[in-house]
A and B are shown apart, each in its own frame.
Chain A
Amino acid sequence: MAKILMKGNEAIAEAAIKAGGNNYFCYPITPQTEVAEYLAKRMPEVGGVFLQGESELAVANMIFGAAATGKRVFTTSSSPGISLMQEAISYMAGAELPCVIVNIMRGGPGLGGILPAQSDYFQSVKGGGHGDYRLLVLAPSTVQEAVDLMMLSFHLADKYSNPVMMIGDGMIGQMMEPVEFPDVYEEPELPEKTWAITGAKGRKPRVVRSLFLDPNKLENNSWHLYDKYELMKKNEVRFEKYKVNDKNEILIVSYGTMARICQTAIDEIEKEGVSIGLFRPISLFPFPQDDIFTEASKKNIKNVLVIEMSTGQMIEDVERAVVGKKKVTFFGRTGGIVPSPEEVIKKIKEMVSKKSKTKKKA
Chain B
Amino acid sequence: MNTDEKTIFARPEGMTDIVTHYCPGCTHGIIHRLAAEAIDSLGIRENTVGVAPVGCSVLAYNYFNCDFLESPHGRAPAIATGFKRLRPDMIVFTYQGDGDLISIGMSEIMHAANRGEKLTAIFVNNAIYGMTGGQMAPTTLQGQITSTCPSGRDLNETGHPIRMTELLSGLVTPMYLERVSVHSPKHIIQAKKAIRKAFQYQIDNKGFSLVEVLSTCPTNWGQTPNESTDWLEGNMIPYYPLGCFKDSFADEDK
- Please give the residue numbers on chain A whose beta carbons come within 8 Å of chain B beta carbons, in ascending order: 23, 25, 49, 51, 53-55, 57-59, 61-69, 71, 73, 87-88, 91, 95, 197-202, 205-211
Contacts and interface: CB of A to CB of B under 8 A. Distances in A.
Contacts of A211: 58, 70
Interface in B184-211: none
Interface string B66-96: 1111111001001111111111001000000
Nearest to A196: B67
A87 B70 CA distance: 13
A11 B252 CA distance: 49
Nearest to A66: B82
The 4 A-B pairs at the shortest CB distance, nearest first, are namely: A65-B82, A62-B82, A209-B70, A66-B82
B68 A199 contact: no
Interface in B220-244: none
A73 B49 CA distance: 19
A63 B82 CA distance: 6
A71 B69 contact: no
B82 A199 contact: no
Contacts of A49: 85-86
A343 B68 CA distance: 55
A199 B68 CA distance: 9
B72 A91 contact: yes
18 contacts: A58-B75, A58-B81, A58-B108, A61-B79, A61-B82, A62-B78, A62-B82, A62-B85, A64-B69, A64-B71, A65-B82, A69-B83, A87-B72, A197-B68, A199-B49, A200-B65, A207-B61, A207-B70
A202 B47 CA distance: 11
Nearest to B47: A199
A204 to B, nearest CB: 9
B72 A65 contact: no
A63 B48 CA distance: 19
Given A58-B111, A200-B45, A200-B65, 20 more contacts: A55-B107, A57-B107, A58-B81, A61-B75, A61-B82, A62-B82, A62-B85, A64-B69, A66-B83, A69-B86, A71-B86, A87-B72, A95-B70, A197-B69, A199-B90, A201-B46, A201-B47, A208-B68, A208-B69, A209-B52
Contact of B85 (A66, A200, A210): A66
Residue among A57, A63, A95 with the highest chain B CB neighbour number at 10 A: A57
Contact of B75 (A23, A88, A95): A88
B129 interface: no
B253 to A, nearest CB: 28
A25 B75 CA distance: 15
Contacts of A64: 69, 71-72, 75, 78-79, 82
B79 A65 contact: yes
Nearest to B79: A65
B177 interface: no
A207 B111 CA distance: 25
B139 to A, nearest CB: 22
A210 B78 contact: no
A211 to B, nearest CB: 6
A25 B85 CA distance: 10
A207 B75 contact: no
A207 B67 contact: yes
A57 B83 CA distance: 16
B64 interface: yes
B70 A53 contact: no
| Most B-side CB within 10 Å, residue of A51, A73, A208 | A208
B145 interface: no
Contacts of B86: 23, 49, 66, 69, 71, 73
Contacts of B49: 197, 199
Contacts of B82: 25, 61-68, 73
B51 interface: yes
Interface string B90-118: 10000000000000000110010000000
B67 A206 contact: yes
Nearest to B65: A205
A200 B78 contact: no
Nearest to A90: B72
A200 B111 contact: no
Contacts of B65: 200, 205
Given A51-B85, A65-B51, A69-B86, A197 B79 contact: no
Contacts of A62: 78-79, 81-82, 85
A53 to B, nearest CB: 7
Contacts of B67: 197-200, 205-207
Nearest to A59: B78
Nearest to A71: B86
Contacts of B71: 61, 64
A55 B108 CA distance: 9
A294 to B, nearest CB: 42
Nearest to A72: B86
Which residue of B52, B68, B79 has the most chain A CB atoms within 10 A of its CB atom?
A: B79
Nearest to A197: B67
A157 to B, nearest CB: 15
A209 B61 contact: yes
A207 B68 CA distance: 5
Contacts of B48: 199
Contacts of B83: 65-66, 68-69, 197
